[in-house]
Chain A
């Protein structure tokens, strides 16, 4: 099992460009999450999907959109990138609440630089 995979690993964008970060998990998990990690700010939740067909905002959703394409895939889109979105982005998944298996499993991250 690959666990949680993310593409791309690195990306450089110019201000105003758009891009989509891809995430997939092969653990048959119900819940998926997108975080960003910034020095001095720690990890913050951007959006999450508690189950297939649902998405909700986290702490810092402005400037982002998400799509839960199916149970395996959860993508994060930047419509018009800004330098403030320079960060490391992590996708995570978990079996879901009430399962007794709420451990979140993280992907390797996408490093994004917006110039």
Chain B
């Protein structure tokens, strides 16, 4: 059974710092891995999707990597801003022919001005 873990649960950094959020998964046979952002009281916003055949994806200041062999993904945020404060969730999409995502518990990021 796929399990997804995100450590740490919370992170506080000063504005301008580069940071890395971690995601690990137990079953390397994933179809893809997705990173989401969730603001308090809101729904999830998709940030990046990495297919199993890819090593990384970039969008603006965000870069997500995927290492299936080690069961790890990272989300790199460059030059963090207070507006980046939110909970970041990763989700593994299994190898079955469904769209089922298994979510981690999330990392809550606070970027201090």
A residues in contact (CB < 8 Å) with B: 4, 31, 33, 40, 42-45, 48, 50, 56, 58, 90, 92, 94, 96-97, 100, 102-109
Contacts and interface: CB of A to CB of B under 8 A. Distances in A.
B99 A31 contact: yes
B89 A45 contact: no
Contacts of B32: 102
A92 B44 CA distance: 9
Interface string B77-113: 0000000000001010100011111011110000000
B49 interface: yes
Interface residues of B, number: 23
A24 B46 CA distance: 18
A103 B34 contact: yes
A105 B49 contact: no
Q: Is the interface of B mostly helix, strand, loop or mixed?
A: strand
Nearest to B1: A59
Interface of B: 31-32, 34, 36, 42-46, 49, 51, 89, 91, 93, 97-101, 103-106
A4 B43 CA distance: 10
Given A42-B106, A43-B89, A104 B101 contact: yes
A98 to B, nearest CB: 8
B31 A102 contact: yes
29 contacts: A4-B43, A33-B99, A33-B101, A42-B89, A42-B103, A42-B105, A43-B44, A43-B89, A45-B100, A45-B101, A48-B98, A48-B99, A48-B100, A50-B99, A56-B98, A90-B44, A94-B99, A97-B31, A97-B99, A102-B93, A102-B99, A103-B34, A103-B46, A103-B49, A104-B101, A105-B46, A106-B43, A108-B43, A109-B43
